Amino acid sequence: MLTAHLPSGYVLSRAFDPEISWMVPAALIGAVLPDLVFFTAILLHLCLDTISGGILWAAPFNDHLYSLVTVPPTQSHWIASFILHWTFVLELMIWGMAIYLWRKGQGT
């Protein structure tokens, strides 16, 4: 995942009690910078990166990068290859869900 870490953190925070004032900022920070906050946000970050990135799930016993899908270098720049790959639709769906929940929380 390239862009969906922040909105996925927002979606995760909305799964908890919306009255907890620190939940949204904590989940947002944890989704983007997993060293700072909750185990759940860290796990979310790792799972998102496992889709098309690569995570050392077996470290330190194995140095293999695990991913569910390999994005082939079809474009001249690696970012373009990711954006034009079908897995980017997953990122757009997460963005859509986060925007929907945010707007719903704003009362609009």
Residue-range definition of the domain harbouring residue 101? 5-106
**Per-residue pLDDT band at 67 (split at 50, 70, 90):** very high
Nearest residue to 12 via CA among 25, 1, 27: 27
State both tokens at 62: 């194995």
> Count of domains in the chain?
1
> What DSSP line would sit under 25-59, residue for residue?
HHHHHHHH-TTTS-HHHHHHHHHHHHHHT-B-TTT
9-54 pLDDT, tens per residue?
888 888 887 778 888 888 888 787 765 667 788 888 899 999 998 8
The whole-number pLDDT of residue 108 equals 59
The whole-number pLDDT of residue 87 equals 93
